[in-house]
Homo-oligomer: A and B are copies of this chain.
Amino acid sequence: MRYRVGVDLGGTAIKMGLFTNKGELLDCWSIKTNTSNNGEKILIDIAKSVSVKLAMKGIDKKQVEGLGIGIPGSVNHGIVDKCINLGWGSINIEKELGTLSGLKVYAENDANVAALGEYEGGSGSKYSSILFMTLGTGVGGGLIIDGKIIQGFCGCGGEIGHITVNPDEKLSCNCGKKGCLEQYTSATGIRRIALEMLDEDKEESSLREYGDELTTKDIFDEAKKGDIIANKVVDYSMTILARVASNICHVVNPEAVILGGGVANAGDFLIDKIEDKFNKGNIYISGDTKICLASLGEKAGIYGACYLVKK
């Protein structure tokens, strides 16, 4: 029997999965991300946790084909340029984690890795090419064509969250630009839009009862129940998302667009809100690019990391 390890390194937790070399998940677990002292312990913690797990399972490292890892930053030929969330500067992660773990390591940007997970093991598995859009605290993405991640020449492929959609925006995005997709379609962005609309629009709305505790999930839940302002918020946000998705399709014409991240938990309601606008935007494209939900949820990252390991 041969195995692979998939690691999804996030700012607060590190998810890990033990897989067969056919991509079957045998076990998954997670540890906290220790970002103290510029995250100097992170790779050591990962190596230790993987070693312990393999020992517990009686697996020799020689049986492990490799360890794939998704990083919350751009990765260029195995080297992380910098990673603000983790406190890292430039690190050759494939080399360093390779030495620490005794395994062959393959590293990539986390959103690209999640895209690969959905492509190989999730709802993208029936398509030849996909655009993956992940709508969480931020907005990320990944493009997979014929099984290959489009990394970009310096590892910045799939950075769709910082596409400019509104050049007239007054508020700044975390990236320093103004009017990025992330500002309108992330969980944070959708909540902000709702608070602004509630302030401007004096209409009665069930959203008002949530006060400061309002979450994006609440907004979608109330929209499903028919609340007018909640629906206005969702329509506004999803019109922008549909336009960007369609615009990207004009460039790379993928077979499917797959939506993941916390916002996509709104399910078919989300697809219903996007599909028509998306198809209208695609009118010139003769093919029918499908739009659908991701299916691996929070496990997309570890699945994709497993598939990073080259056969």
User: Within the assembled complex, what's the spacing in Å between the Cα atoms of A74 and B287?
Assistant: 10
29 A-B Cβ contacts within 8 A?
A129-B152, A143-B252, A150-B252, A152-B252, A152-B287, A153-B254, A153-B255, A153-B287, A154-B253, A154-B286, A154-B287, A155-B287, A156-B249, A156-B285, A156-B286, A156-B287, A157-B251, A159-B253, A159-B285, A160-B250, A162-B250, A162-B284, A163-B250, A163-B251, A164-B247, A177-B280, A177-B284, A251-B251, A252-B252
Residues of B within 8 A of A78 (CB): none
Q: A157-B251, A254-B152 are in contact. Are A81 and B163 (CB under 8 A)?
A: no
Check: A95 CB closer than 8 A to any chain B CB: no
Residues of B within 8 A of A141 (CB): 251
How many copies of this chain? Answer: 2
Check: A246 CB closer than 8 A to any chain B CB: yes
Which residue, of A74, A159, A254, A281, has the highest number of chain B Cβ atoms within 10 A?
A: A159
User: Within the assembled complex, what's the spacing in Å between the Cα atoms of A154 and B290?
Assistant: 12
Chain A 84-99 interface 0/1 with B at a Cβ cutoff of 8 Å (1 = within): 0000000000000000
Residues of B within 8 A of A129 (CB): 152-153
Q: A143-B251, A151-B253, A251-B252 are in contact. Are A243 and B167 (CB under 8 A)?
A: yes
Check: A128 CB closer than 8 A to any chain B CB: yes
